[in-house]
Structure 1
Amino acid sequence: MIKKTLLFLLILPVQLLIAQSNLVNFPAEADPMEVGHRIAHRFIAGKHMLHAGKWISYPETFYWTGAINYARVTNDAKLMQAMKDRFSKLVSSEPQLLPPKNHVDLNMFGSLPLRLYQLTTEESYLDLGLPYADTQWQVPENAGQEAKNWAQQGYSWQTRMWIDDMYMITIVQTAAFKATGESKYLDRAAKEMVLYLDKLQRPNGLFYHAPDVPYYWGRGNGWMAAGMTELLRMLPKDHADRPRILKGYLTMMESLKKEQRKSGMWNQLIDEADCWAETSGSAMFAYAIITGVKHGWLREKQYGPVARRAWLALAKYVDGQGAVSEICVGTNKKNDKQYYYDRPRHTGDYHGQAAYMWCINALLDANDK
């Protein structure tokens, strides 16, 4: 009995070391630091990606924030200054590009200045960013009846039951919580997430693009995966909504593990084997799994290899200038399977550039703050 116990104690550390090594010691061509440097620095000279040709879009917002977080993780002062300078130019010389606070895809912009405030404590960032979080729960006079009905139930008036929303709403509300410490922001996001989980998650853990669009679109599911991940990072263990969100997350991760292709990627339509491998959704899934393994929500033995295969596959799609290929362009919902097969694929599209930064920062950041 003593010999068996000693053998177990010797084997256990080795097993843990193997599991943890899945998220470190990558080959040179997949080194997160080097790949991240190319993608993050590419943003410095990148053009704006505008929403409706008018305002800073959500892909640009998230790419920008990803570059800021990479600069923090790697202590890249030059990159951080470039990100702050670009923001100063936006506010002083391009204020017409600041999004209005009237749509779920626009209010998320507040997460960018709120992140800058968290890192710098400069009040101007807080003053700009916080109203984007607050107005998601302040019903405008011209709001429609459906929006008013959601607000009366304690949800955001911007609720529309598209799975994309669960990152757009979650990211600005959690950013407001991190900036202010006020629990109302976290409570709002958690309540909203539970609503979407109860209404939209399928028994297999995945999500249709919308209730009337019965297809498991990759990036749409990626928004859900990333949104749950952001909330679980922030929610206290005793928060009333945490068990429901964790259950939704774990159910989804189990399905994603099954649907991962031999290449390490996930497809544009997750459950369609003949569909093409798509990078932005795959990166979002990898981010959710990497973070889950690091935080202990997912078992390292089961999910560490999934995360490693995913990152090794994803790294192959990044060129020498930091441009990611095979990115599905912006996609509206449509009840037509062929529509998703036929979506154009771009290189360097900010939807994918941003999601890659999430993966890289999760791999590099030991503190994960």
Structure 2
Amino acid sequence: MKDMNLKCLLLILIFSGCSVFSAFSSQSPVKRDSILESANIFKTMQRVADWQLNTWKNKGFNHRKSDWTNGACYTGIFAFGNLKGNEHYLKTLVDIGDELGWNTGHLRFHADDYCVGQTYAQLYSKFKRKKMIAPFILQADSILSQPHDEPLNWKNNIQKREWAWCDALFMGPPSLAYLSTATKDEKYLNTAVKLWWKTTEFLYDPTEKLFFRDESFFTKREKNGQKIFWSRGNGWVLAGLVKVLENMPKNHPDRSKLIQLYKDMVSRVAGLQQADGSWHASLLDPASFPVKEMSGTGFFCYAIAWGLNHGVLEWQQYLPVVEKSWKALVSSVNEDGMLGYVQPIGASPDAVNASRTEVYGVGAFLLAGTQLFEYLRKSKQVNYNY
């Protein structure tokens, strides 16, 4: 009888162990698709980053080096360059900063023109060279000194003074938040948070849990009668939100409220993902723009993967969303490394095709890939022997 009981106990332990192992294994995406293996994620990011750097080298920049377009790209190159063995990508960013004298754009209070400040602050945090943030500190102090008391109605060039359009939430708040981390002075973060809520109160639709691009879209409708919510616009918001959270102390009084906004938006966005893993240019009328779009998809993938990495989201619910979106992103990379299906510069949903690319799409792609790669690293699924 004792032997029988012992055998039963052993069988229970064995099967329990198998269940635990199975549960852990199901968390790992590596077993399911080679596209999701860490080595392939790394190599695909490398191919896309190299294409972008080689294009800049051989054809030059299509936009000012301090422009928001490139600023968004730099954030992705920094993230990828921060991975082991990728220091030469950071050198490219340092060279660009040196060439610019570590100055931002010429419009001092326009968020687009200081988007590049977030990369300057990140580079300073890594290399500790004061010249990297000295000009931006002066600019940030002047931003903080402004009253910021104007209404955000879309008129009178309000965008030159306030964050009156949703894209600005990627350009401005992260730049100030990273500067807080670099300087260890929370005043920049606190201003970013204060102005974040000002923009949110004006542009966020609490029913749809999405942001209008600006006031001019409040009464506009898509062909199917739905409100117009732009994919990349909401991607800017979510990507900017996680960058602010990344620089926010856990005991900050606004952290829980920002995390709730993040979770609400992620839940809504995940439900709008298309069957192929992408998001189309129009979130509520995907049929009007029936082609996958990679800048919105890239920023959504990045923001959701960030939540997995930081324990904000449940992997059982959201890892499949990230995996599907990463597959959509990889499917849009040409053999030479160019990322296609990126909607051109604009302010609303628009058509896109395989030949369209833009630097901010590359930035989103690298941010997304790096977060997924880091998730695998934490799951001990990363092999650096490439």
2:53 matched to which residue of 1? 44
User: Which residue matches 1:337?
Assistant: none
Q: Is the 8 A contact 2:48 2:362 kept in 1?
A: yes
Deviates most, 32-41 or 255-264 = 32-41
Please give the alpha-carbon distance, in whole angstroms, between the structure 2 residues aligned to 1:34 and 1:205.
35
Contact map agreement 2:277 2:324 (CA 8 A) in 1 = yes
Q: Which runs of 5+ in 2 are unaligned?
A: 1-8, 154-158, 218-226, 379-386
1:186–1:102 CA distance, 2 compared to 1 (3 A): closer
The superposition leaves residues 56-79 of structure 1 with CA deviations (integer Å, 9 ceiling, x where unpaired) of: 211201212321331221322333
CA–CA separation in structure 2 for the residues paired with 1:160 and 1:291: 24
Alignment check: 8 A CA contact 1:166 1:193 kept = yes
**CA distance 1:359–1:48, change in 2 (3 Å):** same
How far 1:24 moved relative to its partner? Answer: 8.4
> Is 1:218–1:281's contact at 8 Å kept on the other side of the alignment?
yes
Following TM superposition, by how much is the alpha carbon of 1:294 offset from its aligned partner in structure 2, in angstroms?
A: 1.4
Contact 2:173–2:240 (8 Å) recurs in 1: yes
2:322 pairs with 1:307: yes
Distance in 1, Cα, partners of 2:170 & 2:106: 17
RMSD (CA atoms): 3.2
- In 2, the alpha carbon distance for the partners of 1:72 and 1:172 equals 18
Q: Which moved more, 1:28-37 or 1:184-193?
A: 28-37
Q: What is the rounded CA distance, in whole Å, between the counterparts of 2:30 and 2:286 in structure 1?
A: 27
Question: Aligned partners of 1:6 and 1:187: how far apart in 2?
Answer: 53
The 8 Å contact of residues 30 and 36 in structure 2, kept in 1 or not, is answered as: no
1:91 aligns to 2:95 (yes or no): no
| Counterpart check, 1:109 vs 2:116 | yes
Q: List aligned pairs for 1:47-196, cutoff 5 A.
A: 47-50=60-63, 56-91=66-101, 98-139=105-146, 146=150, 158-196=161-199
Note if contact 1:265-1:278 (Cα within 8 Å) is conserved in structure 2: yes
Alignment match, 1:296: 311
Question: Which residue in the other structure is 1:244 paired with?
Answer: 257
Q: Is the 8 A contact 1:287 1:358 kept in 2?
A: yes
**Deviation by residue 1:43-102 (Cα, 9 ceiling, x = unmatched):** 334122326xxx62112012123213312213223333233233323339xx8x854423
Letter in 2 for 1:217: W
Alignment length (residue pairs): 346
Corresponding residue for residue 232 of structure 1? 245
Q: CA–CA distance in 2 between the matches of 1:193 and 1:8?
A: 48
Instruction: Give the alignment's TM-score, normalised by structure 2.
Output: 0.79
Deviates more, 1:259-268 or 1:232-241: 232-241
Larger gyration radius, structure 1 or structure 2: 2
1:257 Cα deviation after fit: 1.4
- 2:236 corresponds in structure 1 to 223
Query: What secondary structure is seen at the aligned counterpart in 2 of 1:209?
Result: coil
- Which stretches in structure 1 are left out of the alignment for 5+ residues? 150-155, 334-339
Indicate whether 1:281 and 2:296 are aligned: yes
Q: Residue 345 of structure 2: SS of its match in structure 1? A: coil
Give the aligned partner of residue 212 of structure 1. Answer: 216
Q: 1:294 to 1:169 in 2, by over 3 A?
A: same
* Structure 2 counterpart of 1:332: 347
Give the TM-score of the pair, scaled to structure 1: 0.83
Q: Confirm or deny: 8 A CA contact 1:40 1:67 kept in the other structure.
A: yes
Task: Label 1:115 to 1:99 Cα distance change in 2 as closer, same or farther (>3 A).
Answer: farther
Inter-partner Cα distance in structure 2 for 1:227 and 1:24: 32
Secondary structure at 2:115 match in 1: helix
